[in-house]
Structure 1
Amino acid sequence: MSTRIRRRALLAGGAGFATAGLGLTQLGAPAIAQGAQQLAIATGTTGGVYYPLGGGMAAIFSRVIPGMSATVEVTGGSVANLQLLGAGRVGMILTQVDAAVDAVNGRDRFANRPVPARAILVMYTNRMQVVTVASTGITKMTDLRGRRVSTGAPGSATEVMAFRLIEAVGLDRDRDFRSRERLSPAESTNAIKDGKLDAYFFVSGVPASAITDLAATPGQQIRLIDHAEYVPAIVAKYGPVYFAEEIPAGTYPGQTTPNKQMSVANIIAVREDMPDALVTQLLAAIWDNLPELHRVHAEARNFKLENQKTAAAGIPWHRAAEAFWKARGATLG
């Protein structure tokens, strides 16, 4: 990762780069091609996929866009990222579509505080993974009653999605668990290793490094709990942002069966008022250097032209992104 990228922990409301609500410094049309400018990219926890992919993008931006110095921010995840974008503390974010839809419409965590987020690229599918080990005896979602679980880091879309899944299962998130923690995936893995946690929820691309760490631990047999049967009830209440998929057997060490689970798309988003020329530069930098991102993480191979669909984006396109994809032959739809 480039030495120009700085890892800084950010929660919603934390410090960041901001000028004119863009999370950028020294911007404006003349400054895009000349002069120093900084771009803060909000990603997620270090145990997921957003952080390394964001770092790869920051390295590309810093190298190929004149005057650009891009930094990657460690955050709680999608909800925190959207809050930071709304506050103008970062310029670009990686986010799940469900959280972005809530943010744009001012719902749930964003009640009365809509975020002017706009999609610029549909990335890959995020998979809900309900993680445990064989020694717990947990084999189905209802077995989580009375157990010690983690529903994800504060400010993460994992937490939002976990709550919706728990509700669909018929469990009460505040009363039906022996304890409910709000840990990052890396912290959750360590807690299971130490015998302090029975299961955790994590939404990410696959393979996720934190889950791989648990699966590769001697003496542990990983188990991913099926839950695709609950997707219709969740979609009926929260809209068609979720869909059923399978994580193939062998995705993680010792994973002997496919995992039937719930998925949601991921997007890159910026503020509606980001200058058109800068959006075009960012997209061209990503698209012209995809092989570099493929080496960062396998999920970047799912950055495909045919995936650039309005329905998949979930929220409105930034006008410059819409023009960019149409010029490259995307139908959008």
Structure 2
Amino acid sequence: MTARPISRRGLLRSALLGGPALALPGCAHEDGPRRRLTLATGAPGGPYHAFGRALAAEAARTPPYPRVTAVSSAASVDNLRRLTAGSADLALAMADAAEQALHGAGPFTTPARVTALARVYVNYTHLLAPAHGPVRQVADLAGRPVATGATGSGAQVLAGRLLRVAGLTGGRAVREQRLGLAESVAALRRGTVDAVLWAGGVPTPALSTLARRVPLRVVPLEAEAEALRAEYGPVYSAVTLPAGVYGLTAPATTVGVGNYLLARPQVPDRDARDTLRVVFDRWRVLLREVTAGARLEPRFAVATGDLPLHPGAVAYYRSVYG
């Protein structure tokens, strides 16, 4: 039987403050051949899919060679449901959706048993509109068609909360179009939506390509970042889109939310530990097509909020901290 997941707070207290040593997880499921791990990612062309494919490829060539197969999905919410159902062993998910699953809130009717391996990078919320269009601030979205992410994606969770704190409900509600990234880009080019709400790395290649064809306005979300943090806690933060991306002439403040690499508690400790070794050995390759300028360090990676760390992850981080 796998040991009870240990929270990051306990791990950090021991590793960083010199407290009593944590009991190492048991060695259950350590024997026998390595199992193949199914990693639920996202839609082709999106950052989750790019990260997942890169992780599967690097695992095949990086000791200790865990066996990882990346599969496409509708992203966060879909991935969390797959973990719960047992059709995926590993998954990527936005932090807000993961915490909803853990507590059985939002689109999840019962609490999910999921554990974290790492917080791998931060999503930047993009609210983009044509530069010469009617949307100049968040309030201008009222009553307009807006692409808010595919059904089953974490973008839908974020969009619902963001629109609520912005007062865009009831008679001021937007006309949500549940479209994935590629479909959102196409709809903005056709003019069938007035804005796109997307959460991903910076720059997101599909949006960089769009910005070269259509002059874009990046709508700042500083007030909304503060409101989300006040309402839902530190799962949200204010982050800065740098000048130069998507044609920005000056930095713009927006909403940041972490992305977690998750595992079913039943994943053997050795497989979780070995997957993390690949992640930290090859993080530059894994993040290259996902978000520019990001780094992955253990002190950042263990910040998984309410999500408990998998015992194999605890063993890995203890080996790093010494």
TM-score of the two chains, using structure 2 as the length reference: 0.85
The reply on whether 1:304 has 2:301 as its aligned counterpart is no
Q: Aligned-pair distance for 1:45?
A: 2.2
**Which residue identity lines up with residue 80 of structure 1 in the other structure?**
D
Runs of 4+ in 1 over 6 A off after TM superposition: none
Alignment of 1:13-162 (within 5 A): 28-33=29-34, 37-64=35-62, 69-111=67-109, 113-162=110-159
Task: Quickly say closer, same or farther: Cα 1:39–1:224, change in 2 above 3 A.
Answer: same
Which of 223, 227, 230 aligns to 2:217? It is: 223
Q: Aligned-pair distance for 1:288?
A: 2.2
Given that residues 189 and 213 in structure 1 are in contact (C-alpha distance below 8 angstroms), is that contact kept between their aligned partners in structure 2?
no
* Inter-partner Cα distance in structure 2 for 1:117 and 1:272: 6
- Match of residue 238 from structure 1: 232
Gaps of 5+ in 1: 1-26
Task: Quickly say closer, same or farther: Cα 1:66–1:244, change in 2 above 3 A.
Answer: closer
TM-score of the two chains, using structure 1 as the length reference: 0.82
Q: Aligned-pair distance for 1:69?
A: 4.5
Q: Aligned-pair distance for 1:78?
A: 0.8
Given that residues 97 and 314 in structure 1 are in contact (C-alpha distance below 8 angstroms), is that contact kept between their aligned partners in structure 2?
no
**Which residue identity lines up with residue 318 of structure 1 in the other structure?**
H
The reply on whether 1:185 has 2:181 as its aligned counterpart is yes
**Which residue identity lines up with residue 214 of structure 1 in the other structure?**
L
Q: Aligned-pair distance for 1:270?
A: 0.1
User: How many corresponding residue pairs?
Assistant: 295
* Inter-partner Cα distance in structure 2 for 1:294 and 1:170: 35
Given that residues 202 and 290 in structure 2 are in contact (C-alpha distance below 8 angstroms), is that contact kept between their aligned partners in structure 1?
no
* Inter-partner Cα distance in structure 1 for 2:33 and 2:305: 26
Task: Quickly say closer, same or farther: Cα 1:306–1:299, change in 2 above 3 A.
Answer: farther
Report which structure shows greater RCO (CA 8 Å, sep ≥6). Answer: 2
Task: Quickly say closer, same or farther: Cα 1:61–1:67, change in 2 above 3 A.
Answer: closer
Q: Aligned-pair distance for 1:60?
A: 1.7
* Inter-partner Cα distance in structure 2 for 1:88 and 1:289: 27
Given that residues 81 and 93 in structure 1 are in contact (C-alpha distance below 8 angstroms), is that contact kept between their aligned partners in structure 2?
yes
Given that residues 166 and 173 in structure 1 are in contact (C-alpha distance below 8 angstroms), is that contact kept between their aligned partners in structure 2?
no
Task: Quickly say closer, same or farther: Cα 1:67–1:215, change in 2 above 3 A.
Answer: closer
* Inter-partner Cα distance in structure 2 for 1:68 and 1:301: 24
Q: Aligned-pair distance for 1:110?
A: 1.2
* Inter-partner Cα distance in structure 2 for 1:65 and 1:148: 49
Q: Aligned-pair distance for 1:47?
A: 3.5
* Inter-partner Cα distance in structure 1 for 2:65 and 2:259: 28
Given that residues 123 and 300 in structure 1 are in contact (C-alpha distance below 8 angstroms), is that contact kept between their aligned partners in structure 2?
no
Gaps of 5+ in 2: 1-27
* Inter-partner Cα distance in structure 2 for 1:52 and 1:296: 7
* Inter-partner Cα distance in structure 2 for 1:165 and 1:274: 34
- Match of residue 322 from structure 1: 314
3-state DSSP of counterpart to 1:171: coil
3-state DSSP of counterpart to 1:202: strand
* Inter-partner Cα distance in structure 1 for 2:84 and 2:99: 13
3-state DSSP of counterpart to 1:317: coil
Which of 206, 213, 218 aligns to 1:210? It is: 206
Identity of aligned residues (%): 32
Q: Aligned-pair distance for 1:175?
A: 6.0
Q: Aligned-pair distance for 1:68?
A: 5.3
CA RMSD for the aligned pairs?
Answer: 2.2
